[in-house]
Structure 1
Amino acid sequence: MREAMAEIAKDLHTEHMVINMGPSHPVTHGTVKFLVTLEGETIVDLDVEIGYLHRGFEKMCENSTWQQVMPYTDRLNYVSPLINNTGYALAVEKLLGIDVPERCKYLRVIACELSRLADHLTNVAAAGLELGAFTAFLYFVEARELVWDLIESLCGARVTVNYVRIGGLKNDLPERFEEKVRDVFREVRRLWKDVDKLLTKNRIFIDRMRGVGAISAEEAIAYGFTGPCLRACGVPYDVRKAQPYLVYDRMDFEVPIGETGDNFDKYLVRMEEMQQSMRIVEQALAQMPDGPINVRMPQVRMEPKEKIYTRIDSLIYHFKTVIEGIKPPPGEVYQAVEGGNGELGFYLVSDGSGKPVKCRVRPPCFALTAAMPRLVKGRLLADIVPTFDMINMIGGECDR
């Protein structure tokens, strides 16, 4: 019988089916297209096309003053914009050779970890929803909204925050912020436990995630993986530990790792990182000293309005900074921070003028998205969904 079926198969004329998945598709989370070659339901080949988002981030930055770049960084990873703000500000400050006050460093750590928490909550919520776990989605979106409430109380915005400044911050903590954090984290941890019970031992969720999208540590490094996707392969690389910045070297936190690099390990790593982020925020609030949040350099950080309105020297600095921009000395720097999806780096080149000559961003999502063909070839069409979810591609970062 088997031999007869083999003979019939030889005579059948079959062709691979090529389909477009995206760029306008609810699973692609933005303007990205998969050109999928199928044999039945099995993926024979997959080509990722990210060229649908043409915002020209780097060229816009090179035609703006150093301060005017800050709102653009919000739009890179719009799920964790405070980390983008901080990475860019640190890069410019390295170029200027300045160090921000201690209190500012702690506040930036708090802002970054709240952003990371919101990013992971969004990722796991969306992944659960697209595999049918609607309840898990509702729980984690509720948790994310609570975290966004904290961010809104901190800087007045929820998504495009524009909170960090070169040389400092927009404002200090609002009243009763620490008390609000305690209340929100108590509720987030309760919702975290509910989602953990709903998903981590759920037979359907495990079957859709375990063994899917697996990659070895060696291959992941070769592709340029960083962040949760690399740590899921068992590589404990975290910029906050490997190249400490701000006050992360004073924080006591763990770097969770996986074993197989599959989608289930990526999920587990992100779940544990949420707990670690809350732990870091609580430590930062407990350790944070009093003091200023901005450097006292009017040629870099604008002075308060009352000074600008009443002192001629402050008015002159304000005028020159707004019209000409700050002027870092000629040189080049690279500054990396740990973004929600991995190493987020800014490479800046200055010629001494008020605008960057080069503003290059190293987005963690770019390398992860490039590996999609490797992760799904030989799998079923339905496996694209959880694999792409766990990469957590953000279109704004991959803008080229």
Structure 2
Amino acid sequence: MNKVDTMNEYTFTGKSRLVLMIGMGLGLLCLALSFFMDGFDHHPRFWSNLLHNSVFFTGIAFMAVFFISVCITAWAGWYTVFKRVWEAFSQFIIVGLVLMLIIGIGIYADWHHLYHWSDTSLLDPSNTASYDEVLDGKSAFLNPFWYVVIGGLIVAAWVFFAYKLRSLSLDEDVNGGDAEFKHHRKMRFWAAAFLPIAGFSSAAIIWLWVMSVDPHWYSTLFAWYTATSWFVSMLALTILVLVYLKGKGYFANVSAEHFHDLGKFMFAFSIFWTYLWFSQYMLIWYANVGEETIYFKHRIDNYPVMFYGNLIINFLVPFFILMRNDTKRKFGTLVFVSIILIFGHWWDFFLMLKPGILHTAQSTVEGAHHAGFVAGFSLPGLIEIGTMIGFLSLFLFVALTVLSKNTLLAKNDPFLEESLHHHV
């Protein structure tokens, strides 16, 4: 048996399942605690934790299928030896669709008030005391129908492309290997078709799920910024999973060269994230338009630790550690930075979502805007971190289950030899 054939089927052991199930149990417990320990009506801490983690991990899964499509379309071959990991990540979109539909149905059923625009009393011009002209002007897009039906169809389309690309990849193992590379040509067709759909639909989803918690605010850079946060998180989680599986004897063909490229992408897009962070902040600060500046003013004044900590964790740490070329070949360094970045970008999404949701919750309580520190909103608490661990465990449980269903090496991929001998 040669090196290519060794440990080519992943076994999802009972011990690994138990560890992840304990993690999921912790997440459920923390969600339950956030529900019963909430001081506001409609349990915004519970619902915001559910939204925060559902958006974060669904975005990671989306970025996996997006980057697969990018690599296929670009005729890239370096990633071939571990592409099964990204294919496994992509299948979590199905779980994300279910979770986001639950949140969307909650708008119709009045289970939560995560989104200020969902209050129909603000859209009635005859009600001069509460009428909100800005929200009324945006109501053609910010409404429950768009959130549930159109948003659901968009994510369902992501599910379709993730399933299609993975099924063609798996079928190539059995029926591929022909000189004409018919399977790979089909994959290039579907990958190229997905890219423009992914570009436009992800922006719409980000506007619906994330930016609309501050419905008076808008930024043309926000979709890029948020998607980049997802992308860096996906790369970091890829490194962690590959290091773990290599430690178990799998993916023997994934070398320091492949990790070096993953590290370069993680470094480069951390810098790109910082560029977008600065560009968005600088342009809004310089223009000094009230509708735009309120977003940053609110976060700087009331969430300074979160605001400045976000930049330190997601820029300074990867910048100074990954700048050296050799650190991107060292497993220990990559693992450390990857853990920091996954937590850092989860922190980033916390800062995007929680202030707007808290503002909406406080709008129904007289004097609550001056309440000071609010558990679960001002900073992530143990309940929030436990919920994140639960969602991470769920994500890994789904990914590892999918990974165990088929061989780890795409033996008939036309770029396999290039990937096996990848060197930079």
Structure richer in helix, relative to its length = 2
Structure richer in strand, relative to its length = 1
Based on CA coordinates, which of the two structures has the bigger radius of gyration?
1
